[in-house]
Each structure stands twice: as C-alpha cells, then as structure tokens.
Amino acid sequence: MAFERVCAVSEVPEDGALRIELDDVDVAVVQFDGDFYALQDVCSHADFPLTDGDVDEVDGAPTIECALHGSCFDLRTGAPTNLPANKPVPVYPVRVEGDDVLVDVAAPLAAAAS
C-alpha cells in the first residue's frame, strides 16, 4: 500500500468533508462520529462533487449526500443508499497518524453494489 498524507486532522470538519485534489483523482476526506473515510469526490449519477453535500447517518450507515440530486453513499463501502444513483463510488483505505490523514488512492477498496 502507498499511503500518502493528504491533510491534517484539524482540516476536516467534524461530521463534514474536505475535497483533496490529487494528481489522478479528487478525494473526499470525511469525518463522521470521530471516524475518517475517503472516497472519490464525484457522484456516480452525475459529475458533481460529493463534498458539497451533508454527512449524516442514514439507517445506521454513515453517509454523504450528493447535493445535486439527493443520492446518499455509504462512507464505508461507496454503495448508494437511494436513487437516482445506482452505482457505487470508489472508497480508499484511510488512516490517521498523529495529526495527519493518510489515504491510499492506488488501492481502492472493493465497492459494494446496491
């Protein structure tokens, strides 16, 4: 795995998201209930940044909502939890070391289908 530092813990809003523009992909680093997640920052239904949406718990799952059409995505799996999106978004391994958030965009986790 090739983890790279993408931001400081303090840069990610509590129960919110931060857009990180990397060379190959834009990543949404999300903090929810003290846990950190990383996923591709684009809705699979429409080319719209997920970081513009709300982060919340829906039916027991931590999610981020696409502000354009309202689809939510499970932060753990990338799977959409409601329509109109029907395809998952890539999620990436993330870890926190001290005050640094590290993400491995070279090793996307297997996304779950809806």
Q: Give the chain's mean pLDDT.
A: 94
At residue 111 the predicted structure's pLDDT band, cuts being 50, 70 and 90, is low
Kindly give the pairing relationship between strand 91-92 and strand 35-40.
antiparallel
pLDDT at 113: 45
pLDDT at 109: 87
pLDDT, tens digit (0-9, with 9 covering 90-100), for 21-63: 998 899 999 999 999 999 999 999 999 999 999 999 998 999 9
pLDDT tens digit sequence for 83-108: 999 999 999 999 999 999 999 999 88
- pLDDT of 1 > 70? The answer is no
Taking the C-alpha atoms of residue 32 and residue 55, their distance in angstroms, rounded to an integer, is 7
Global confidence as pTM: 0.93
